Structure formats: C-alpha cells, structure tokens
Structure 1
C-alpha cells in the first residue's frame, strides 16, 4: 500500500470526511485484521496506522465492526461484484469460483470470514452484517439466479435461497475450519445443484 503523508491524512474540520483519511482508515483496518485477527484489532491501532486521531475514527464509525463492513462492501464491489449482465451457466459458474477465490485468497474475504465468525456470538454484529452486506448482496444474487432460470441456463433442484446457501455453505465451512477447498468442489456443487443446460 503506498505511503500517505501525515498532512494528506489529516481530516477536514467538521463532520465531512476527508477521502484520503477515510481510505487510510479502511486500508489500515484491512491490513491489521490480516496481521492480528479480529480480537487483536483495535481502534487505537487503526488510528496509529492510518495517521488519524482516534476521536476522528469514532466520529465517523461507532465501532471496528462498522469500519470492517465499509472495507468489505467497497472491496467486494471492486473485486467480486455480482454480475448484472446477461446470465449464462458459465458466468454463474465463474461467479461461484470467484467466491471461492475471494474467501481463500483475498484480504477482503478474510474480513468477511472474521465478521461471520464474530456474528456467531455477537447478535449486534450479526444484525448489522445482514442488513448492510449479506441481505443486499443476496438480493442481487437471487435476481441473477432468477434471470438465469428464466433464460433456461440452469434448472435448480432447490428454491433460490436454499440453492444459494447450498452452493456457498461448503466453501465457507472449509475455510472457517482451516481446510483447503477441495479441487472440483465448486464444479460438483454447481453441476449437482443448478443442473446447467447441456451444451
């Protein structure tokens, strides 16, 4: 990550966010999470790494969960967007492969996994993760699947939410338990659950 001078990191007065300071905070949170895990991530460390005052962070974000969510939302849109063009079986397969890469290799995928883990014993984190990230993304995935079904590209064995859960669940389980995602798992899930149209 390129260095940001202390002067360029300094936020403007008032409640308006300085974009360079905002990005410095998001990048610092992302990097520190990868280095120290969720439990070792603190607002103090984020402020120190980003070169901003701790009070500035609290003025913009009420908690480290909110910072990580902003990081996750922005990085997901850049590196793992839900396709919005004409759906085909192959770009659906590519999207599922992209998800496997996202949660196994991308720092933003580690943010998602950390928030999912924290949500298991923190109802507040679970609620805000659903509201700000999981539900909006699921709406777009459901619409993508519906377009693919309407186009005759796939014929799922289950309803939309059940098939989406069945596709991503085994991948998330592998990663959360420290296992590698087996070669061929993505294609097997895709072919068995979505039954793509034969070529």
Structure 2
C-alpha cells in the first residue's frame, strides 16, 4: 500500500496568501478602496474571512502587503529578463539622463492601472491611519528614496553636484512634484514633465548669463 502523505500546510498557506493578494489588488482596482471589504476579498480568494483576520488586522494591511509583493514580483521579473540595476538608479556618468530614465519609469508606473489604484488607496489610508502610513513609508517610500540619495551622492563624489547639497532634499525636488501632480489629477503626468523636473532641479530657475 502506498504511503499517504499529509497535506503540506505551508504550500496551502502560500497558495491562499497569493490568492488573497490577487483578490485585494483586483477588487481595489475594480471597485475602489472604500467599497472593498474583507468579506469581498475572502470570497474572491476562496478563503474564509477568519483566515484573513488571522494574518492581517485590516484590509489596509492586506493591501499594503499585496502591493509590496507586487513590486517584488515586478523587480524579480525585470531581473530574470536580464535588466541591470533593478534595485539601483543607473550610473552612466550622465546624471540628467539617469534621473530622467528613472522618473519616466515612475510616471509609467503611476499611470499604470495595476499600480495606480492601490497606490492611491494606500496614500490616502496612510494619512488617517498612522500605523499604515509609517509602514508604507518604511517599506516602500524610504527604500525608493535611498536609491536617489545613493545616486546623488555618487554625483557629488564625481564633482557633478555641489558638495553642500543635501541629497535627500534634492530627491524631494525631483519626486515631490510628480506625486503632487498625480494626486491632484489636474494636469497630465508625462515623460516630458518628468524631463523638465530634472532640468529645473539640476539647472535652477535663475537666469543664465548670455553666451558669447
């Protein structure tokens, strides 16, 4: 008689977790965050709602973890496809070109419905829920900020950026306007806009002396 094997609870839990991630992201995209419920996520994922409550304290916590996992999957896919520097801003020696490349990618992501709905939901929820806001900043925003800081520090070492510039503040000059325009939805978020931010940040707003 063949020996029967006990079900692999680890594999079953991982399958359920993945189903819950997918359900949370899809429902927020389809119905919006306000109309998404734990019950709806459980039904879409094919699990009991107590399973969700056992792993997460709220739908915001579910969505945050699902969104972080989505980003990890995208990075892994890029790495598998042979993309270099998946976790770093490229350093080609041309700071403006490197910053424009990454800001254009940010524009594309914010305009992508897959990322847009959960990003908006988490940004809004983080304002009213301090714990979610802190976790969102720690796990997503700060690691992204660190990429800019490292690239700008490298530019300082190369003599391309002034030594007295604070890289973190410089990063906010580049990314803050993009987030502001995206949140307000009053003007289009485009590659041309991203390029102009880099030009303004690196070259300043003061008039330049005429060329002779």
TM-score (norm 2): 0.74
Contact 2:89 2:148 in 1 (8 A): no
Matching residue within 15, 20, 34 for 1:25: 20
Question: Could you tell me how far 1:37 is from its partner in structure 2?
Answer: 1.3
SS of 2:128's partner is coil
Query: Is it true that 1:64 corresponds to 2:59 in the alignment?
Result: yes
Kindly indicate whether the alpha-carbon contact (under 8 Å) linking 2:25 and 2:118 is maintained by their aligned counterparts in 1: yes
State the partner residue of 2:80: none
User: What is the distance in 2 between the residues matched to 1:58 and 1:126?
Assistant: 20
* 1:147 matches 2:142: no
Tell me the residue number matched to 1:163: 170
Q: Structure 1 stretches (4+) deviating beyond 6 angstroms?
A: none
Q: Which moved more, 1:134-143 or 1:112-121?
A: 134-143
Which of the residues 79, 84, 88 maps onto 1:83? 88
Distance (whole Å) between structure 1 residues aligned to residue 106 and residue 164 of structure 2: 21
How far, CA to CA, are the matches of 2:163 and 2:32 in structure 1? 37
Corresponding residue for 1:122?
A: 129
Gaps of 5+ in 1: 1-10
Cα distance change, pair 87–46 in 1 and its aligned pair in 2 (3 A) = farther
Q: Cα–Cα, structure 1 residues 48 and 192, in superposed 2: closer, same or farther, change >3 Å?
A: same
Whether the 8 Å CA contact 1:34–1:107 is kept in 2: the answer is yes
Residue 37 (structure 1) aligned with residue 32 (structure 2) = yes
1:109 to 110, 116, 128: 116
User: Structure 1 residues 35-44 or 70-79, which shifts more?
Assistant: 70-79
Q: Distance in 2 between matches of 1:149 and 1:51?
A: 53
Q: Which has the larger radius of gyration?
A: 2
Mapped to 2, the partners of 1:84 and 1:175 lie a distance apart of: 22
Q: Displacement, 1:20?
A: 1.8
Aligned equivalent of 2:81: none
CA shift for structure 1 position 154:
5.3
Question: Aligned pair 1:132/2:139, yes or no?
Answer: yes
For structure 2, the 5+ residue unaligned runs are: 1-6, 76-85, 204-212
Q: Supply the distance in 1 between the matched residues of 2:163 and 2:113 (Cα, whole angstroms).
A: 29
1:176-191 to structure 2, matched below 5 A, reads 176-179=183-186, 180-182=188-190, 184-191=192-199
RMSD (Å), alpha carbons = 2.8
Of stretches 164-173 and 23-32 in structure 1, the one that deviates more from structure 2 is: 164-173
Deviations 1:105-164 (A, max 9, x none): 141233122211222233232222122222233233322332243345656995222222
Match of 2:208 in 1: none
